[in-house]
Amino acid sequence: MDSKYILEKPLVGTRLGGADFICRPGRSVLRDTRVHTTEKNGPVVYKPAMDGGCVVAKSERISHKGNGLSPGSRILHDVEKSGPGDQRDTGYTGILKRASPTHCPGINRQLPCGFMHLDIRNPGKQAELVNSFRAAHGLNAPLTEKQPLPSTHIPVPRNRKPSGHADKEVMAATVLTSLSTSPLVLNPSSAPTVPEPASRAWKEVLSASYSSSTSGNWSWDASDQSVPSTPSPPLSNDTNKNFLLSSQVDDVNEDVTESTHFMFEDPIPRKRKNSMKVMFKCLWKNCEKVLSTSSGIQRHVRTVHLGRNSDSDYSDGEEDFYYSEIEVNMDSLTEGLSSLTPTSPTTAGPPPVFPPPLTEVAHSEHISTNELQSHAPSLLSQSAPSALCHIRTDHAYQATAPVSIPVGPELAGLGSGNGTGPGTGTGNAITVSWQSPPLIFKGAPGPVTHVRTVSIGEKRQPAANSHNTVKNHALIMPAAKPTPGTRKPRGEAKKCRKVYGMEKRDMWCTACRWKKACQRFTD
């Protein structure tokens, strides 16, 4: 399930000389057990890109049609062509269907967007996108030098010089990834700075590649839930959102408190857009710094956490690891709502996460035990600690009437795969799939959602919700075994004993006679 889930995530990547670069948020996957021909094509492949040229890949599968075809139509065509057996392809289509932006921040933003923003003026670029896209799905996309085209800028760190085969591949992946996904195309003005999404993708690639001990075979097995290759904080899954908006946020205003909460998923984008503002939050452990500008946060990270000289512009992009974009609901902030009362405690899938949770995330949201997902809570806690606070304060089960716990479909669907995820959207930055991250409770849009966190130590609960509670247990913490001590809530209905009394004990149901849960007067 897990692996499948991952495959269903938005993938972006490029196949370079036999190596598949599948870049997912949080993790970059390079999978290819086939013979690498990178040595042969590698240099040719990325050199142009690094020089600002454009790498044009030609898909073998579509090569018969030539390269001159309308890229746009080809894209669609290719997607449609996806064979049922091609998991990656299906994965992509799945993405399209799922439209789960939270899953793949940098990427997600790009694929779908890429289609929409294909630069008609530059067919070559479209070809790139197409190829990158295809590559991401495992389609062969041998690179060629045809149609060299100017590329938008490629975030190649100055100080990082490829020093080996792996590095080259990394670079190639980075370049291609950025090319295929860089929204910057839309915003040339921001060229001077490294596009965050791109740079992130690049880093992700790097992190994945560097963490790999094998030479050309970089594969991130879906089952591999190992610890992230770097101690970097999680990149928020929402980084993909409002990317464009982020560029607008140039006003250097005051820091915002951590009160902000993530809007991982935006079911009603139009509605919220007005009040949403992209902020940059430091993900460094125990640091809740939130700044309104990426440069600001980068500086913060660089100087405060990385110990770099604040005066220096030097940046290897390392900072990108330590902050993420977040959407801040300005309405909630301006309305004087306590920062503790997020209007919509939505959470997204499992964020990648490294730093320890700031708050206890009640054993609840673990959708699965795999590490990836297990991270989700931490992100959750980091991103929306206040939400958790609320969650814990409400004991729905104490209500006299059955209380329905507003659990989003995501949660309900947890069983279906991380996708469960937390959300549908789960994905996250880096996250990968975080899927998970189900993690998560997604309240119905509105003020404080009453989400009840089931704690292990919890004791009996009124009958009205007993079933719900039990279900929640199963849903929310399938892995969490009911600890001894969690007893079935005592039913409110009169039992045989009360109904018949001790004198008519023979009239009791057998269960009652045996001191078991009454079977006759069930709750």
- Residues contributing to the site for DNA (CB under 7 A): 459-460, 462, 484-485, 487-488, 490-491, 494-498, 502, 510, 512-518, 523
Which of 34, 459 has the CB closer to DNA?
Answer: 459
CB atoms inside a 10 Å sphere around CB 223: 10
Phi, psi (rounded to 5 degrees) for 208: -70, -45
CA 478 to chain centre: 21
Which of 273, 504 has the CB closer to DNA?
Answer: 504
Whether 184 and 152 have beta carbons less than 8 Å apart is answered as yes
In 31-147, beta strands by DSSP E: 56-57, 143-144
Closest distance between DNA and the C-beta of residue 455, in Å?
Answer: 11
Residue type, 156: V
Which of 165, 513 has the CB closer to DNA?
Answer: 513
Which of 86, 523 has the CB closer to DNA?
Answer: 523
Which of 121, 515 has the CB closer to DNA?
Answer: 515
Closest distance between DNA and the C-beta of residue 362, in Å?
Answer: 17
Which of 64, 515 has the CB closer to DNA?
Answer: 515
Q: Which of 40, 41, 3, 39 is nearest to 22 (CA)?
A: 3
Which of 226, 398 has the CB closer to DNA?
Answer: 398
Closest distance between DNA and the C-beta of residue 514, in Å?
Answer: 3
Phi, psi (rounded to 5 degrees) for 325: -85, 145
CA 318 to chain centre: 20
CA distance 363 to 486: 14
Closest distance between DNA and the C-beta of residue 484, in Å?
Answer: 5
Closest distance between DNA and the C-beta of residue 450, in Å?
Answer: 20
Closest distance between DNA and the C-beta of residue 337, in Å?
Answer: 34
Q: Which of 139, 117, 138, 147 is nearest to 55 (CA)?
A: 147
Closest distance between DNA and the C-beta of residue 397, in Å?
Answer: 10
Burial class (CB in 10 A: 0-12, 13-18, 19+), 465: buried
492-502 in b/e form (b: 16+ CB < 10 A) is eeebbbebbee
**DSSP for 423-458, written as a single string:** TTT---TTT-S--BTB----PPSSSS----PPPTT-
Which of 415, 482 has the CB closer to DNA?
Answer: 482
Q: Which of 89, 228, 210, 234 is nearest to 160 (CA)?
A: 210
Distances in Å between the alpha carbon of 198 and those of 25, 129, 174?
A: 11, 14, 8
CA distance 274 to 263: 13
Whether 137 and 89 have beta carbons less than 8 Å apart is answered as yes
Closest distance between DNA and the C-beta of residue 489, in Å?
Answer: 8
Closest distance between DNA and the C-beta of residue 497, in Å?
Answer: 3
Which residues does 98 contact at the CB level (< 8 Å), separation at least 6?
8, 424
Closest distance between DNA and the C-beta of residue 294, in Å?
Answer: 50
Indicate the helix (H) or strand (E) that contains 331. helix 330-334
Angle between helix 165-181 and 123-136 (nearest 10)? 120
CA distance 8 to 6: 5
Closest distance between DNA and the C-beta of residue 403, in Å?
Answer: 16
Which of 273, 494 has the CB closer to DNA?
Answer: 494
Which of 77, 395 has the CB closer to DNA?
Answer: 395
Which of 459, 504 has the CB closer to DNA?
Answer: 459
